[in-house]
Chain A
Amino acid sequence: GAVVSQHPSRVICKSGTSVKIECRSLDFQATTMFWYRQFPKKSLMLMATSNEGSKATYEQGVEKDKFLINHASLTLSTLTVTSAHPEDSSFYICSARSPAGGSYEQYFGPGTRLTVT
């Protein structure tokens, strides 16, 4: 149980275009999902917390208008990188927290490698 998927696993796009990444909880309902960015040989940086039915909460320094997050249902959150630039190239990972009591941990997706050319 507690499987989180991401789609696509890899995407290459041209500078100036937008890319949408999907994060799905496959066997549980996730009221809260998190989006992380991971640079090479670096730790995970939390970008935003996504709550179903409400606006995402962004971490300091993360541009809301550039990284659009939508948590439309209890099993789906999307991250759209708008007007992508080469510096947006990174590994993006989502995670989901189940509302069931006592679990505490977050379940992570397999990640999406974004390359902007």
Chain B
Amino acid sequence: AQSVAQPEDQVNVAEGNPLTVKCTYSVSGNPYLFWYVQYPNRGLQFLLKYITGDNLVKGSYGFEAEFNKSQTSFHLKKPSALVSDSALYFCAVRDSTGTASKLTFGTGTRLQVTL
């Protein structure tokens, strides 16, 4: 079974400071990893994904994430946070084996960026 852990319910950061939202995963095969953002009463917006290749993945809105196989982590980062980044962030994983596209989501981390 595949699983995702987001250990922080909420992350608070001041605007202009770097931010990190943590994610660890568990799959039986090689992972496909994703980050999504959700604004209030909205669906999920895709930020970035890791499938293969470079461990550092760059995505939308200046976000990036680093795949670390030994630590089974895929933390989301941004060098300089904006107030508009405040939202709910979900990490998701899919096992690369098999034909199903079933994603397993973490419980979400609320990012609060303040002035």
Chain A residues proximal to chain B, CB less than 8 Å: 4, 6, 32, 34, 41-44, 46, 49, 91, 93, 95, 97, 104-111, 113
Closest residue of A by beta carbon distance from B94: A104
Residues in A neighbouring B36, C-beta threshold 8 A = 108
Stretch of B40-48, B62-70, B78-86 at the chain-chain interface: B40-48
Instruction: Tally B residues with Cβ within 8 Å of A.
Output: 21
Chain B residues proximal to chain A, CB less than 8 Å: 32, 34, 36, 41-46, 49, 51, 90, 94, 100-103, 105-108
Interface SS of chain A: strand
**Cβ contacts A to B, 27 pairs, < 8 Å:** A6-B43, A32-B101, A42-B107, A42-B108, A43-B105, A43-B106, A43-B107, A43-B108, A44-B44, A46-B103, A49-B102, A91-B41, A95-B44, A97-B101, A104-B49, A104-B51, A105-B46, A105-B49, A106-B103, A107-B46, A108-B46, A109-B43, A110-B42, A110-B43, A111-B41, A111-B42, A113-B41
With the chains together, A39 CA to B45 CA distance in Å? 18
A33 to chain B, nearest CB (A): 10
With the chains together, A41 CA to B101 CA distance in Å? 24
Total A-B pairs, Cβ < 8 A: 50
B41 to chain A, nearest CB (A): 7
A24 to chain B, nearest CB (A): 13
Closest residue of B by beta carbon distance from A97: B101
